[in-house]
Structure 1
Amino acid sequence: MAKIIEYFLAPQSPWTYLGHDRLVAIAKKHGAQIDIKPMDLGKVFGVSGGLPLAKRPAQRQAYRLVELKRWSEHLQLPLNLHPAFFPVPGDAAAKLIIAARLAHGTDAALTLAGVIMRGVWAGERNIADEGTLAAMATECGMDGGMLIKSAGTAGVQAEYDRNTEEAIRADVFGSPWYRVEGEGFWGQDRLEFVERAVGG
């Protein structure tokens, strides 16, 4: 039986961006399924002690930039350390990913998530803007206008809320967060352990 990787994410997270393509590749390699669960990271932070970037101590903010540069170079992924549209709320993008999953399936949602994250961190695109999000969905072969409408429905909001509540119950405190058979892994730098969990 194929193993399932639960994938809790906030699409505005640079760390999620850095791990996204590798997660998809790991799942494909081992025949695992990804259960993509966009969540409200602000609410998760609120119950887990996390702080928005602007409220973190200066030394933590500075080291974050060092690590982002290291990982970007190591993975050979383009990443702008100071993107034009960041900080940015991730709610609209998260709900668009949910809408894509409901309408087109998990693979389409994963593809759209990747485009959204690259848009923030390598493309200087504003993922809080509906027009930008609609264009991204269209680039992925979907009807962007219709998907934006779907993202605003009560059903999508309910799934977003469920994902967030489930993350809180699972003791998630950051993004990305992966879970395999109940075991949690925080951060793209834990993907080696995720691969062991699904490949073993």
Structure 2
Amino acid sequence: MKTIQYYFSPMSPWTYLGHERLMDIARHHGAAIEPKPTNLGKIFPASGGLPLKKRAPQRQAYRLRELERWSRYLTLPLNLHPKFFPVDDTDAALMITATLAKGDVQAALVLSGKLLRAVWVEEKDIADAGTLMQVANEAGLDGAALYSARDAGMALYEQYTQEAARLQVFGAPWYVYKGEPFWGQDRLDFLDRALAD
């Protein structure tokens, strides 16, 4: 079966913009997705990247322009200045990896999409325990149980981050198909073509 490795952060706006399109592309090609939440805080320094607040003002300004363009183009709602961004997304990522540790990939993908939407559309704080449990409940999971068991996802979270570093990932979202990397939701058309070959 065709398999797409999907490295991402649950608070990345670019991941949010591409998440549902990735799901659609995978369905269209009968491909499986391996979601791999990654600690970008470790990836950025290793690749020479900078956290948003440390980037030059002109880069920050252009990022906002591009987010607005893509939001309009894709007709996806997106708050350019969400109330809770950036935040520590570790617990959110661990809830996803804890779901994956149970073998439920589809639930992990649904949860990922809802967490991304929580940040970029719903003005929710995904560093807050109550919010995380609520979002998990909305994804059809037992939010309280999953939050309590989130440490069960730590080994996978660390594994995916190490994998990402080994694969020279330097941003999110990052897709890998047959060993070929595709950085950013604006490369989904190329991933689509690769899957069609």
Q: Matched residues in 1 for 2:146 and 2:103: separation?
A: 10
SS at match of 2:171: coil
Q: TM-score, normalised by structure 1?
A: 0.96
Please give the residue correspondences for 1:132-143 in structure 2 after superposition, counting only pairs within 5 Å: 132-143=131-142
Does structure 1 conserve the Cα–Cα contact (< 8 Å) formed by 2:101 and 2:156? no
* Alignment correspondent of 2:77: 78
Please give the residue correspondences for 1:44-55 in structure 2 after superposition, counting only pairs within 5 Å: 44-55=43-54
Q: Matched residues in 1 for 2:102 and 2:146: separation?
A: 8
SS at match of 2:120: helix
Please give the residue correspondences for 1:19-34 in structure 2 after superposition, counting only pairs within 5 Å: 19-34=18-33
Measure how far apart 1:90 and its partner are.
Answer: 1.5
Q: 1:59 to 1:193 in 2, by over 3 A?
A: same
* Alignment correspondent of 1:183: 180
Does structure 1 conserve the Cα–Cα contact (< 8 Å) formed by 2:171 and 2:184? yes
Q: Matched residues in 2 for 1:194 and 1:150: separation?
A: 34
Please give the residue correspondences for 1:79-118 in structure 2 after superposition, counting only pairs within 5 Å: 79-103=78-102, 105-118=104-117
Q: Which runs of 5+ in 2 are unaligned?
A: none
Measure how far apart 1:159 and its partner are.
Answer: 0.7
SS at match of 2:102: helix
* Alignment correspondent of 2:189: 192
Q: 4+ runs of 1 displaced by more than 3 Å?
A: none
Measure how far apart 1:167 and its partner are.
Answer: 0.1
Residue identity opposite 1:97 in structure 2: I
Q: TM-score, normalised by structure 2?
A: 0.98
**Length, aligned pairs only:** 197
Residue identity opposite 1:113 in structure 2: S
* Alignment correspondent of 2:8: 9
Percent identity over paired residues: 54
SS at match of 1:36: strand
* Deviation readout 1:27-70 (Å, 9 max, x if unpaired): 00100000010010010001001100000000000000000000
Q: Matched residues in 2 for 1:8 and 1:91: separation?
A: 14
Measure how far apart 1:104 and its partner are.
Answer: 5.7
Q: Matched residues in 2 for 1:24 and 1:122: separation?
A: 19
The Cα RMSD (Å) is 0.8
